[in-house]
Amino acid sequence: MTASAKIQVPDNSLMAELLGERDENLREVENAFDATVHVRGNEISLGGPQAVEAAQVIEELVVVLERGESLKPAVVRRSINMIREDERPSEVLTDRILTTFRGKPVRPKTAGQKRYLDAIRSDTVTFGVGPAGTGKSWLAIACAVRALQAKQVERILLTRPAVEAGERLGYLPGDLMSKVDPYLRPLYDALHDMVGAEQMAKLFERDVVEVAPLAFMRGRTLNDSFIILDEAQNTTPEQMMMFLTRIGFNSQAVITGDQTQVDVAGDRSGLHGLEKILVDIDGLSFVRLSSADVVRHRIVQDIVDAYAKRDLQR
């Protein structure tokens, strides 16, 4: 069945951005659907069996542009995937968490990331579980910085189990910070991207940001804090319980992990089976991210899918 649709783009500058260089954005939409796209002036006409779906993508992209966001081919591809899943790209792609010190907006890039952010905003404890490249740690750091800037918390605490990923690093010289630095470097890098080197140094000097191995959490009560436990798949069940019972008043915790990258001895991951244990607790949520939420190079998504397929065959 053939359908048709027409879209009136408000002005020429929006049209130029919508089309992209050599019309690459529009071609991306046309190739994704069984539809033909024609542009005349500020009007876009679509025809074909999937003209309505293609038109929805273009209408959403216009809204994204009107709200001051930019379009790249990757954004267009993600918008196409969202429309196929009955999601609204304009609601996902314009949800800014904060602006970095370089003026770059931090926002979700997929519907899964938007659900993750919404959970962090509404719940006391949020588990973000998914493969590499889905932005679990990056978005958690952004939310922590935003909470600190809004004076919702007094400090940020970053922790991670000191488990080596399949290779022995041997003795590490120096003080505590030097010893845990290799394990927490991804969190440092994300924080640096958010606030810059100068502000980051000040936060550490004033103990507004604290970094500690997971083992150092025992016996503490963490009040007025935004706590991030990274690489949680490498906790033991005992460590996970210990960490979760550290959360004090006016605090929030985000726990991130990838259950396909367990390095803890004996495969005793603190994440394994945890959702069934905690399922009925109010204010606690699990958000599952997938290869569809990978925002690195496109090949990373293919690699994640290939490993997932192998695991299913096993």
pLDDT, average across residues 38-42: 90
**Is the distance from CB of 26 to CB of 37 less than 8 angstroms?**
yes
Of the pLDDT bands very low, low, confident and very high (cuts 50, 70, 90), residue 169 is very low
b/e map of 139-175 (b: 16 or more CB within 10 Å)? bbbbbbbbbbeeeebebbbbbbbbbeeeeeeeeeeee
Does the structure show a pLDDT above 90 at 183?
A: no
Cα(222)–Cα(294) distance, integer angstroms:
32
Domains of the chain: 3-93 (3.30.1370.10), 105-313 (3.40.50.300)
Q: Which residue would you say has higher pLDDT here, 259 or 2?
A: 259
pLDDT, average across residues 279-305: 82
**Total-model pTM:** 0.85
Does the structure show a pLDDT above 70 at 195?
A: yes
Of the pLDDT bands very low, low, confident and very high (cuts 50, 70, 90), residue 212 is confident
pLDDT digits (tens, 9 = 90+) for 224-273: 999 999 999 999 999 999 999 999 999 999 999 998 888 777 668 999 99
pLDDT at res. 168:
43
Of the pLDDT bands very low, low, confident and very high (cuts 50, 70, 90), residue 167 is very low
Q: Which residue would you say has higher pLDDT here, 277 or 298?
A: 277
pLDDT at res. 108:
94
Q: What is the 3-state secondary structure (H, E, C) of 110-135?
A: CHHHHHHHHHHHHCCEEEEECCCCCC
Per the prediction, the chain carries an average pLDDT of 87
Mean pLDDT lowest for which of 84-88, 204-208, 259-263, 295-299?
295-299
**Is the distance from CB of 283 to CB of 259 less than 8 angstroms?**
no
